[in-house]
């Protein structure tokens, strides 16, 4: 099993969710986060004063997947979230040792 973490642009969330649903992924955790990479941030003007926004708003998706679903999820996210411009985001995939559904006690693949 794997845990996929994707950092995407906020306005891409609905399209990414729909793309994941279409490949059979129905559950995820969505978190509003802030950060920067090569995009670095930008300067804004407010009431005549200039100030720097270092951390940009992003959306973080966390998804627990079986090994056979990872490539489908990566393809779905990449195809919808990619604009070709800096700041599209990143996908991280890491091993997931164990999953437990609290309500039923199911574990691992049956808990996903």
User: pLDDT for 21-74, tens place per residue?
Assistant: 999 999 999 999 988 777 666 666 777 777 677 778 999 999 999 999 999 999
Residue reference for tokens 């969710």: 17
What are the phi and psi torsion angles at 13 (to 5°)? -60, -50
pLDDT of 109 strictly over 70: yes
CA distance 1 to 68: 9
**Predicted local distance difference test score (pLDDT) of residue 30:** 98
Asked if the 2-111 domain carries CATH number 3.30.1360.30, the reply is: no
**Predicted local distance difference test score (pLDDT) of residue 40:** 65
State pLDDT tens for residues 76-104: 999 999 998 888 999 999 999 999 999 99
CA distance 62 to 28: 6
pTM comes to: 0.84
């Amino acid at each position: 099993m794997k845990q996929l973490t994707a950092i995407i642009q906020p306005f891409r969330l609905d399209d990414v969710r729909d793309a994941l649903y279409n490949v059979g992924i129905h559950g995820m955790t969505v978190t509003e986060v802030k950060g920067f990479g090569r995009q670095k941030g930008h300067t804004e003007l407010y009431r005549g004063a200039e100030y720097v926004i270092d951390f940009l708003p992003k959306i973080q998706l966390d998804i627990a997947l079986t090994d056979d679903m990872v490539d489908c999820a990566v393809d779905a996210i990449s195809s919808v979230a990619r604009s070709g411009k800096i700041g599209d985001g990143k996908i991280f995939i890491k091993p997931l040792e164990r999953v437990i559904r609290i309500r039923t006690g199911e574990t691992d693949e049956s808990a996903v």
